[in-house]
C-alpha cells in the first residue's frame, strides 16, 4: 500500500530553510509514499515567492509532485483533502495538527532540524 502524504506550505519550505530532506525522511518513516500538494498551497507559494528565494525554490519543488485541485484555501483545503482521502499530513502548524489528530488523521511533523516524526 502506498501512503499518500499531503504537504502544506511550511513543509515544502523546510528543505530550503533547514536542509531537511523531506523525501528521505518520508521514505524512512513510511516506505512507499506519494506526495500530494493542494492547489491552494501552490497559490500560496506563488504569492510568497515574490521576493522570497526560499518560497520560490519551494514552489519549483512543489510542482514535481502531484498537484490536487481544491475549492478551498489554506488549511481548510488541507484538512478537507485529508478527511476525504484519508491521507497523512506533513505540517508544522500546531492548530492544524490538533484539528487533524482530533479527526483521526495521522500527522508527520519536523523534529529538530533534520528529522521528521509522527506527531
In tens digits, what is the pLDDT along the chain, a chain of 119 residues?
A: 799 999 999 999 999 999 899 999 999 999 999 999 999 999 999 999 998 999 999 999 999 999 999 999 989 999 999 999 999 999 999 999 999 999 999 999 999 889 999 99
- Which pLDDT belongs to residue 1? 78
Range of the domain at 25: 3-118
Domain holding 93: CATH number? 3.40.50.1010
Q: Kindly calculate the radius of gyration of the chain based on its CA atoms and give it in whole angstroms.
A: 13
- Which pLDDT belongs to residue 112? 85
Cell 505540517, located at residue: 91
How many structural domains is the chain composed of? Answer: 1
- Which pLDDT belongs to residue 108? 98
Amino acid at each position: 500500500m502506498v501512503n499518500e502524504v499531503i504537504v502544506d506550505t511550511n513543509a515544502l519550505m523546510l528543505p530550503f530553510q533547514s536542509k531537511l530532506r523531506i523525501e528521505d525522511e518520508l521514505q524512512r518513516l513510511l516506505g512507499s509514499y506519494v506526495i500530494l500538494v493542494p492547489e491552494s498551497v501552490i497559490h500560496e507559494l506563488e504569492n510568497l515567492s515574490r521576493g522570497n528565494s526560499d518560497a520560490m525554490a519551494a514552489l519549483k519543488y512543489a510542482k514535481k509532485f502531484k498537484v490536487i485541485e481544491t475549492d478551498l484555501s489554506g488549511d481548510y483545503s488541507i484538512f478537507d483533502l485529508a478527511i476525504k482521502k484519508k491521507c497523512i499530513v506533513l505540517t508544522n502548524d500546531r492548530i492544524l495538527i490538533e484539528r487533524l489528530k482530533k479527526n483521526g488523521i495521522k500527522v508527520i511533523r519536523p523534529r529538530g532540524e533534520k528529522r521528521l516524526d509522527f506527531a
